[in-house]
Structure formats: structure tokens, C-alpha cells
Amino acid sequence: MKKLYGVIGCPIQQTMSPLIHNDAFLHLGMDALYHAFHVEPGDLEDAVKGMKALGVSGFNVTIPHKESIIPLLDEVDEHARRIGAVNTVVCENGKLKGYNTDGPGYVEALKQVTQTSDKRMLIIGAGGAARAIIYSLLQEPGVTADILNRTPEKAISLIEEFSFHDRCRAVTMEEAVRSLPTYDVIVQTTSVGMHPHVEETPIPLSTLKKNAVVSDIIYNPLETRLLNEARLKGAVVQNGVQMFAYQAALAFQQWTGNVPDVERMETLVTERLGGTSC
């Protein structure tokens, strides 16, 4: 019998998850289907009950349900519990277990362009995406990080919640710009520079060191103004396509036990967006 997988979110029409997961099922010869489900916030509890009742084998969770779904699940992985967000649910023996592959997926993507251990990083943003990324990056040996956020109190609260005082600090824009030559990796986790506001950039890069890595989780446009400026300064740049592909691949493995072709996923997303990956 064909297995059913999916993603729930609101809005959901823009998602490219069905594109890459259905291709992976086909590529691996699996009898399965992945579908996008629009779920309004007020309907989340009913939707989760429906997934269980229909025997859905697994599903992804996207905005705005990643936090609110947690009390509706039977079990939550420790990593997802610490982050406070679930983006992947495995349905097994009538039980729903939540995971978070956003953070680990980002780390795996970053490792495609640089070693992550013993790096000094600047992380821009302290929102939902940043939570998963910061928590996962600080699990890597020797990583230290400054967090730049429009509301410094939010960054401070995040550091206190994760108990990262010894390796992490909140900084102002002035402090971040002054420290720019010391950062090995800059991670941009906000919506600044996303289509249609493509001329915006979250930080000036005038003193960026030449071989720094600048990673932006945005993938529409494929090259943000931040990445364009970084590339022109000789930095290694990475857009959000690889993170999207790696978090999807980790979810796929959680559901099926099979490892999909991540490069194939990246290519599909990049082609759909009409460009070439950074």
C-alpha cells in the first residue's frame, strides 16, 4: 500500500518540499506520496488528529506551527525539545514523535563549505530559525559566537535559556561591525534581503576578512545582496538551498531509513528558482 507523507503550514503554496520528496521516492523506487496541506492555526489540533487517523507515515511542520504542535505530540526528541520547535514528525505504531532537522540540517550544509570546529562566528538574528541554528552550531567543538539582533534582549534571553554564556554573547551593530575582521563565519538567519526587498542587507561588510564564510539561509533570491557583497570581497558564500536540502534529507531518513540524494534535491530547488546555487 502506498505510504503517505506531507507538510503542514499556513501559507503552504510556496513550499518546494513535495518537489524534492516525491522525486526522492521515485528515484529510490519507493511507493510513497508527499503532499502539502494548508492548515490554519485554529485547525492544527484537528489536523494532527487527522494525520494519525489516516495513518500518515510522517510529515513536516512549517510556519506557524513548529512551536504550537509540540503539546499535540506523543513524544518529542530531546534536541527538538531544547530548541522548542518541531519540523519533522514520525508516525509509528499510532504514536507521533517530533524532531527538529533544521539545526542539524544547517550544520551539515555548512560543513559542505567549511569545517565548523574552532570557528568564531557572527549569527545575525535570534528568531525561530536562529534558535535551531544557534543551538546546533554550539554543539560543535570549539565554536564561539556573537549574536546580533535588532532586539538585544532577545539574544540575551536565548543565550541564558541555552546556558551558552561561556561561548556566546549578544552584540550591538556597532560591536559586530568593529569585530567583523575577526569572524570566520557569518550566518544570516533573518528575512532581510528576501524577495521582494532584495536591496536590503543586515550588516555592512566593509572590513570582512577575505576568506571568511558568509552563509545566508535565504534562497529567494538565490544570491542576496549580502552574499553578492561578500563574494566580491573574496568570501566563500552559501545560500539557503543546501540547508533546505539537508534538513529535508534528514527528515526523509527519519521517516524511511533511506538516504536520499541531497545534491539532486539541491539541483531541483535551484532549477525551480531559475538559477545556479552559490
Using CA atoms, how far apart are residues 41 and 44, in angstroms rounded to an integer? 5
Catalytic residue among 66, 97, 209, 233: 66
Kindly state the cell numbers that stand for 62. 512549517
Alpha-carbon gap, residue 176 to 204, rounded angstroms: 10
Between strands 88-92 and 95-99, the pairing is antiparallel
Q: How far apart are CA 62 and CA 45, in angstroms?
A: 15
Name every residue whose Cβ is closer than 8 Å to that of residue 278 and which is 6 or more positions away in sequence: 222, 223, 227, 231, 237, 238, 239, 241
Q: Are 129 and 102 contacting, i.e. CB atoms less than 8 angstroms apart? A: yes
Q: Which of 199, 153, 154, 149 is nearest to 176 (CA)?
A: 149
Query: Is residue 66 annotated as a catalytic residue, yes or no?
Result: yes
Q: How far apart are CA 147 and CA 168, in angstroms?
A: 7
- Among candidates 255, 265, 276, 259, which has minimal Cα distance to 5? 255
User: What is the set of active-site residues?
Assistant: 66
